[in-house]
């Protein structure tokens, strides 16, 4: 089953420069995506972990890292205190060489994490600075991150779009801002639809992180629309028949 799902993803988008990361905390879903060669990395967050019923953070991380030892995986700190964030970050960093530590751009009081980001990055800890939405935040975190240590800057383009703003100009400007430090990669985060994959590619994003549901839609990329229309008509017809509708 998994092998049959891999081929359509590979054939549908053979020339993407963009890296595809799977976003989730469901072990079965992560295992499914790990079997697909086009998936270059994984991200998680406390909200996804809670939704998946995770109660033991470290045990979950150990299971994931045993399952996926060969691709980058981001695990997030969850304290609101910067000193405790630092302790958690250093602990998470020790879990594996493929671990990136997610640090939110601010704490819940809106205080910038730039000082912590600078200290951790300067010590060679690979970071995923997350929940950014403004170019000011991108500039601040680009300055804070070391030019020598790999890091991700995760801009929530989907949430920007949820406010009625076009994220494309913001993401394009963010790509340009990060270019001063080639070790930094921009993540298009929180995509809402498959189209976002191609938008992220167009503006030069390095990575898009998406749920399994969105990633599986890659098999429909470039599909003939007349055929797709017919399949949709057949779906409505078959569901009406299965429901036994009568008028």
Cα 199 to Cα 235: distance, rounded to the nearest angstrom: 29
Instruction: Give bridge partners of residue 185 from the DSSP assignment.
Output: 152
pLDDT tens-place string over residues 37-54: 999 999 999 999 999 999
**Domain 2-221 homologous superfamily, CATH:** Aldolase class I (3.20.20.70)
Catalytic residues: 102
Confidence (pLDDT) at 13: 59
* Tokens read off for 176: 């340009």
CB count within 10 Å of CB 137 equals 20
All structural domains of the chain with their residue ranges = 2-221
Instruction: Give the per-residue pLDDT at 219.
Output: 85
Residue 42 pairs with which residues in a beta bridge?
A: 22, 73
What pLDDT is attached to residue 9?
53
Q: Which of 180, 131, 123 is nearest to 153 (CA)?
A: 131
Structure tokens at 55: 């109660």
Taking CA 206 as the corner, what is the angle to CA 202 and CA 211, rounded to the nearest 5 degrees?
90
- Report d(CA 208, CA 210) in Å as an integer: 6
Show Cβ contacts of residue 132 under 8 Å, excluding neighbours closer than 6 positions: 105, 138, 141, 153, 154, 155, 156
Q: Residue 14's pLDDT band (boundaries 50, 70, 90)? A: low
pLDDT in tens, 89-128: 999 999 999 999 999 999 999 999 999 999 999 999 999 9
Q: What percent of the chain has pLDDT over 70?
A: 94
In whole angstroms, what is the distance from residue 103 CA to residue 76 CA? 6
| pLDDT number for residue 12 | 52
Q: Please tell me the least confidently modeled range out of 4-8, 36-40, 168-172.
A: 4-8
Mean pLDDT in residue range 224-241: 97
């Amino acid at each position: 089953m998994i092998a049959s799902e891999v081929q359509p993803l590979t054939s549908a988008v053979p020339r993407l420069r963009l890296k595809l990361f799977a976003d989730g905390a469901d072990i079965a879903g992560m295992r499914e995506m790990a079997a697909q060669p086009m998936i270059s990395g994984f991200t998680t967050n406390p909200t996804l972990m809670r939704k998946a019923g995770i109660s033991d953070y470290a045990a979950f991380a150990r299971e994931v890292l045993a399952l996926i030892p060969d691709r980058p995986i981001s695990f997030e700190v969850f304290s609101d205190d910067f000193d405790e964030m630092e302790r958690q970050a250093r602990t998470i960093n020790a879990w594996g060489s493929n671990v990136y530590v997610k640090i939110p751009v601010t704490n819940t009081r809106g205080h910038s994490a730039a000082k912590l980001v600078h200290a951790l990055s300067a010590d060679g800890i690979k970071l995923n600075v997350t929940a950014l939405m403004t170019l000011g935040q991108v500039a601040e975190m680009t300055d804070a991150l070391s030019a020598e240590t790999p890091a991700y800057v995760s801009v929530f383009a989907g949430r920007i779009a949820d406010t009625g703003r076009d994220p494309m100009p913001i993401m394009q400007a963010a790509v340009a801002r990060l270019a001063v430090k080639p070790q930094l990669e921009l993540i298009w985060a929180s995509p809402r639809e498959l189209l976002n994959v191609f938008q992220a590619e167009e503006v030069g994003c390095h990575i898009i992180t998406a749920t399994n549901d969105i990633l599986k839609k890659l098999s429909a990329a470039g599909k003939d629309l007349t055929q797709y229309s017919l399949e949709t008509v057949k779906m409505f017809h078959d569901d009406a028949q299965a429901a036994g509708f009568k008028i």
